[in-house]
Amino acid sequence: MSITPNTAESRVRQQARAAKQAAQFLATTSIELRNSALEAISEELIASEQAILAANALDIEAARLEGVHESLIDRLMLNPERLAGCRQALAELIASSDVLGEVVEGRTITQGIHMKQVRVPLGVVGMIYEARPNVTIDAASIAIKTGNSILLRGGKIAQQTNDVLVEVLRRALLKTGLPEEALQNLDARSRDSADELMKLHGLVDVLIPRGGAGLIKSVVENSKVPVIETGTGNCHAYLHKAAEPEMALSIVMNAKTQRPSVCNAIESLLVDRSVADILLPAILAALADAGVTLVCDEEAKTIASAQNIPEGMLLDASEEDWGTEYLDMTISVKVVSGIDEAIAHINAYGSSHSEAIITDDYAAAQKFTTGVDAAAVYVNASTRFCDGGLFGLGAEIGISTQKLHARGPMGAKALTSTKYILEGNGQVRA
Amino acid sequence: MSITPNTAESRVRQQARAAKQAAQFLATTSIELRNSALEAISEELIASEQAILAANALDIEAARLEGVHESLIDRLMLNPERLAGCRQALAELIASSDVLGEVVEGRTITQGIHMKQVRVPLGVVGMIYEARPNVTIDAASIAIKTGNSILLRGGKIAQQTNDVLVEVLRRALLKTGLPEEALQNLDARSRDSADELMKLHGLVDVLIPRGGAGLIKSVVENSKVPVIETGTGNCHAYLHKAAEPEMALSIVMNAKTQRPSVCNAIESLLVDRSVADILLPAILAALADAGVTLVCDEEAKTIASAQNIPEGMLLDASEEDWGTEYLDMTISVKVVSGIDEAIAHINAYGSSHSEAIITDDYAAAQKFTTGVDAAAVYVNASTRFCDGGLFGLGAEIGISTQKLHARGPMGAKALTSTKYILEGNGQVRA
């Protein structure tokens, strides 16, 4: 591999090379230096708040002119409260301990050689994300905390906001004596920068897509850079025959209606046939009252119909519904013969994110948690708890639904690898 | 995702579905049951030894008729000693503790919810490997030990051997009450089975290629299934100015000449300019005496020429040589200005496998082990120690040169993932 830069190479490739160079320096930095960079970021965010909000206002105006949906405008928007929230997250990140240098295992091996497996930065992180500028700050901060460089490719409707944010972040690095090349902002105005980023196997160590199912699928299928697949959440709540009715109702309501557009909300309700008549009436009525459309199999529909649920709120489920992540006030409902069918159904249709059972039966709880193949399984608790902060991981980069490297809510450790260090005094292999 | 099998789907896809079904059962098995399956494998290998060797003899005969190189015939060959070696490895695997169920971390989180992150099988492992039938036995055994199913796609010249081996292994599973569908043998006679295997994202959880650089590159670039990239080893020994000469000589000779065709042998020697005249003469002469061709930069060539090294053993290095894994009795030699150049050179040209420094300087040792970006770094020890068994990992599935999920020699843990289990008593998110 030549180390001479090719003048014809893409801008993204040049940015990746610069980031890789910077990462080699970052790998040698102390936690004190990295934390002071994060403190400098916090200070610069305060000092530049007006400039950040001004750029954000330009992005919002342009987005409105283009007819972007209000819910997306809301995700794009920054304000003093949201920026304060980012600084709070930064403070918690600064306070968190260093994951680098952890000795994962170590022992004295053959012939007295001392071996240790230590935690090290990944190197260069790539993030392709849709228009949520707080992700720019969060991701850059976690990257710096863990000694990584980062290539940020945000959504094009947030370009001006992200341009200013990355300038601000880079200023903080310079102030601290760290290379500003560690933070690279990619031009999101065309698709090319994402396509190019996905080719950079060898320069970029991991690519994390955050956004809708289409974005994630595209990155997972096309990237030559290793990907950590995040967060589509086709989550289920399964009401086992030994479910306590009040608990079932309150968990289902919380998991569906509290924030229906997030990945850890449930999309599907499964109920044991032997208790469907006992549990479903109150639950389906409460869901419909709250404005949730019920997409039911025949048995659930029969029960729902007896609850005076308005016709428009009660639909027939097709097989496609079992695999659908509605991300809104809609839920599919299926009556199952028992726990075996529930587990098989979840394993077939779920997205391996968060799956809950409500039951007072010990053996059923054990069977469910062992048999369901998902990042997180819950007994008698809402799937809405699936969150890095709540899990005690500190910062959260995203929620991985894949099995390799990281699974479930991803904290700082997800941006690290390990290295074996062997120290001898002249040993050769016999 | 439909659970109805499509009768037009490929044989490989059907095999993967069957393996996935079997994996769901394996995930519930005790270590005792898995170990007794491994004991049964050992017994069946003994009982069927004649049939195995007979099939192997047919493969060897066919390979010879096709003019396959003797070194490949050697890798293809099984005999009583090699089968005894497999059974010895099996015994060690049986004796090793269970990695499944390990509580990686756990705590009580918000509102009294008990959270634990436990180690679980990956599910379905795919292995694409070149003709070494012992890998069939090793890989299948480690898969079963860790509760995984495995799709084995070996080299076509070993087809008959692998057919019989997998029959034998499946018989052992049946004897133990485990589903034989957990072990699937793919038809290696055409390229299709490998191509098809690489598409099965969602059915196969990880793909591990083992073999030459061409095979690995092809899998890494084309697979939609997550890959663990293994073992090209363009390894370096760097002789720092504070290297002890005798130690340098013995380590270089061991690391180059003991087994030159394996991935942990060194391909390249770097020497500090200030000590090149002191260290290189004896080392280059000893290498040439042992039959190693020296591919040198100008400075090293000047020193070598003064050692009466025969002309044919002394070649000029081009830039391409720095990135070449010779896998034979050839080594490239470069004189560097100091540790910074050595680290930069290794990071630019190495394959992130095994990199050694020889030095008595503490700070240099620290700088090297921190700055070199490789799976394993060595101070004053031969790179030939890079081996799962020697590292104390028990069984070894391969040596990963990537950074995600597993890095360096891979033991049983590489075939596992984790799952979060949250146990509550009705908690909902506030």
Global ipTM: 0.92
Q: Inform me whether the pLDDT recorded for A307 exceeds 70.
A: yes
Facing A27 at nearest CB: one of B2, B251, B370 = B370
CB contact under 8 A, A226 and B404: yes
B407, closest residue in chain A (CA to CA): A418
pLDDT at B1: 43
For the segment B42-89, what is each residue's pLDDT rounded down to a tens digit? Answer: 999 999 999 999 999 999 999 999 999 988 899 899 999 999 999 998
As a whole number, the mean pLDDT across chain B is 94
- Distance between CA atoms of residues A312 and A334, nearest Å: 18
Q: Which two tokens stand for residue A31?
A: 């936690």
Residues 6+ apart with CB under 8 A from B175: B40, B44
For residue B254, the chain A residues in CB contact (below 8 A) are: 428-429
Q: How many angstroms separate the CA atoms of B180 and B84, rounded?
A: 24
A80-118 pLDDT, tens digit each: 999 999 999 899 999 999 999 999 999 999 999 999 999
pLDDT tens-digit profile of B74-127? 989 999 999 999 999 899 999 999 999 999 999 999 999 999 999 999 999 999
**CB–CB contact B201 A224 (8 Å):** no
Strand A293-296 to strand A314-316: parallel, antiparallel, or no bridges (unpaired)? parallel
Cβ-based neighbours of B195, under 8 Å, separated by 6 or more:
B222
Q: Which residues contact residue A302 at a Cβ distance below 8 angstroms, ignoring those fewer than 6 apart? A: none
Contacts of A253 in chain B (CB under 8 A): 428
Q: Which residue of A has its CA nearest to B198?
A: A221
Length of chain A: 430
Query: A1 and B349 in contact by Cβ < 8 A?
Result: yes
Q: What is the pLDDT of residues A52-72, one digit of tens each?
A: 999 999 999 999 999 999 888
| pLDDT tens profile A314-333 | 999 999 999 999 989 999 99
Contact A27 B381 (CB under 8 A): no
User: Strands B124-129, B149-153: parallel, antiparallel or unpaired by DSSP?
Assistant: parallel
- What pLDDT, in 10s, does the model give residues B160-202? 999 999 999 999 999 999 999 999 999 998 889 999 999 999 8
Q: Report the distance separating Cα B334 and Cα B316, nearest Å.
A: 11
Q: Which amino acid is at B306?
A: A
Concatenating the DSSP letter of every residue in B147-216 gives T-EEEEE--GGGHHHHHHHHHHHHHHHHHHT--GGGEEE--TTSTHHHHHHTT-BTTB-EEEEES-HHHH
Give me the residue from B110, B226, B375 closest to A390, CB to CB: B110
Distance from CA of A314 to the nearest CA of B (A): 23
Among B391, B397, B410, most A C-beta atoms within 10 A, so best to mutate, is B391
Chain B residues close to A375, C-beta within 8 Å: 419-420
A297 CA: distance to closest CA in chain B (Å): 16
Cβ(A346)–Cβ(A320) below 8 Å: no
Contacts of A417 (CB under 8 A, 6+ apart): A119, A120, A121, A122, A123, A205, B403, B404, B407
Point out the residue among A220, A381, A421 whose CB comes nearest to the CB of B369. A421
Q: What is the pLDDT of residues A259-303, one digit of tens each?
A: 998 899 999 999 999 999 999 999 999 999 999 999 999 999 999
pLDDT at residue number A221: 85
